[in-house]
Amino acid sequence: MVETMKKDVDVSEFIDSRKFSAYQWWILVICTLIVAVDGLDLVIISFIIPGIAHDWGVPKAAFGPVIGAGLFGVAIGALFVGPISDRKGRKPVIFASMVLCAVGTFGALFSSSITTMVVWRFIAGIGMGAAIPNAGTMMAEYSPKRSRARIMAAMYVGFSLGAASAGFAATRLLPLYGWKGMLVMGGVLPAICAALVLVGLPESVRFMIVQSASSERIGRVLSRLGNSSCGQDTTFTVPEMQGTRHAPISGLFKNGMALGSVLLWIAYFMSLLVYYMLTSWLPSLLVQSGHPVTQAAVVSSVLMVGGATGSLLIGYFMDKIRPSYVIATAFVLATALFVYIGRGLDSLAAFEVCAFIAGVLISGPITSMNTLAAEFYPTQSRASGVSWMLGIGRFGGILGGMMGGQLLAAGWGIGEIFRVLAIPALVSGLALIYKGWHYGDAHAVRKADVSSV
């Protein structure tokens, strides 16, 4: 029997009160693929640096600007392209992001110098930086609140698995096709994702309400989420809206959100400094220590697999315990692990085990911070809030990527670098502990803020 919608429909309650539908699973699959491709393309450069350096006759440390350019592009994409979705929509920004990622990666394929590769990696980075926060925002707005953290964690597992697949693919493609084969793969995959977004991804229902879309259009999407129908006189509402279509960036500092925004930025900045120093330079550090590049790729992939495991574990506990404290605990444990690794490991097998645990305690919480930010900000500024956290954090990634190159050139060993990484990991944990203490579970939603169409 088909349910007839009431005249006034609270979309949040509609999504929260129903089972996760087949259509929502489809949205999750597309968003997960987008995040996975971003993860692969973001770390692919670390696996091809040794091969390019050999072919071009330049030292590996000279590729610091290439890594930095990609991360700088990610920051620009998150800061300036990502928030466009709060005005133009989630879907068109995600589509354009995948196109930019494909164009930039294919362009890097035909580079013949570090300078040209810097340019193409910057372009690809812009696409990657805009895609991840908007895919996360889209999925958050289609997820029921009771299981949102777990659903988001499942989506962000795609990032770790995508990054891990780059390492496993490197063991197969590099011996056969060299570094160019890796870039071909990195360009084809986002092109496929762009096609999927164009034909298979809906616009966010919440965004359509903000933009005063027709009731028929909104109703068509909602009918695919549950066994429901609506008439032309149906009015859709979303609590927490203020009757404004878009909150400017200054909205991230109003209504008590300023401190929370800054704490999220600090935690994300410091954690990405750790993450990108590891993912960008760990293969080169291991090669410098005398291990074959294929073994180095496996260790890096184990790090990513640990990240996927951590995302699922932390997402589960975030639905049960205060989210800020869950993530903060992981960062504090990572601090202790880095100090332990810094004392020296006896074998490559021991390093693989520690790399897996490091992935759980660093990569897992980093991906879960997207969920933390999505819960903190209201709908009309959610994409901007998540994007700015990611954008500010990417500068930490840039710093980590550049520092790794400098420390490698200075002859630092793995142990020394891990001891240094314990400091920013601890800062991330302390920032989120304070956020959890100050705000409780999440920033309070203002019940009186309602917009309708």
Band the pLDDT of 26: cuts 50, 70, 90.
Answer: very high
Which residue ranges make up each domain of the chain?
A: 11-207+242-439
Q: Which range (113-122, 216-225, 259-268, 423-432) has the least confidence? A: 216-225
Task: Kindly tell me if the per-residue pLDDT of 64 is higher than 90.
Answer: no
Whose tokens are 């800062």? That residue is: 427
pLDDT at position 83: 67
User: How many CB atoms sit inside 10 A of residue 394's CB?
Assistant: 28
Q: How far is CA 412 from the centre of its chain?
A: 29
Q: What is the pTM of this model?
A: 0.71
The rounded mean pLDDT for the chain is: 80
pLDDT at position 102: 94
Q: Which residue has the higher pLDDT, 108 or 219?
A: 108
Task: Kindly tell me if the per-residue pLDDT of 147 is higher than 60.
Answer: yes
Q: What percent of the chain has pLDDT over 70?
A: 84
pLDDT at position 59: 80
Is there a contact between 267 and 433 (Cβ–Cβ < 8 Å)? Answer: no
Is there a contact between 197 and 38 (Cβ–Cβ < 8 Å)? Answer: no
Asked whether the CA dihedral 357, 36, 436, 76 is positive or negative, the reply is: positive
Task: Kindly tell me if the per-residue pLDDT of 33 is higher than 80.
Answer: yes
Q: Are strands 450-452 and 235-239 parallel, antiparallel or unpaired?
A: antiparallel
Query: How far are the Cα atoms of 52, 87, 404 from residue 247, in angstroms, in the given order?
Result: 45, 9, 38
Is there a contact between 316 and 153 (Cβ–Cβ < 8 Å)? Answer: yes
Q: Per CATH, the architecture of 11-207+242-439 is what? A: Up-down Bundle (1.20)
Residue range 304-314, pLDDT digits in tens: 788 878 888 88
pLDDT at position 293: 64
pLDDT at position 247: 52
Highest mean pLDDT among 29-43, 206-220, 224-238, 245-259: 29-43
Highest mean pLDDT among 19-23, 342-346, 407-411: 19-23
Q: Which residues, at least 6 apart from 443, have a Cβ–Cβ distance to it below 8 Å?
A: 256, 257, 260, 375, 376, 377
Band the pLDDT of 191: cuts 50, 70, 90.
Answer: very high
Mean pLDDT of 389-401: 82
Residue range 257-316, pLDDT digits in tens: 788 889 999 999 999 999 888 877 777 777 666 666 667 777 777 887 888 788 888 888
Band the pLDDT of 449: cuts 50, 70, 90.
Answer: very low
Band the pLDDT of 443: cuts 50, 70, 90.
Answer: very low
Asked whether the CA dihedral 439, 441, 443, 446 is positive or negative, the reply is: negative
The rounded distance, in Å, linking the Cα atoms of 362 and 258 is: 25
Is there a contact between 70 and 124 (Cβ–Cβ < 8 Å)? Answer: yes
Nearest residue to 342 (alpha-carbon basis) of 437, 421, 443, 442: 421
Task: Kindly tell me if the per-residue pLDDT of 383 is higher than 80.
Answer: no
Band the pLDDT of 254: cuts 50, 70, 90.
Answer: low
Task: Kindly tell me if the per-residue pLDDT of 248 is higher than 70.
Answer: no
Is there a contact between 11 and 87 (Cβ–Cβ < 8 Å)? Answer: no
Asked whether the CA dihedral 76, 260, 43, 100 is positive or negative, the reply is: negative
Mean pLDDT of 410-432: 86
Q: Which amino acid is at 366?
A: I
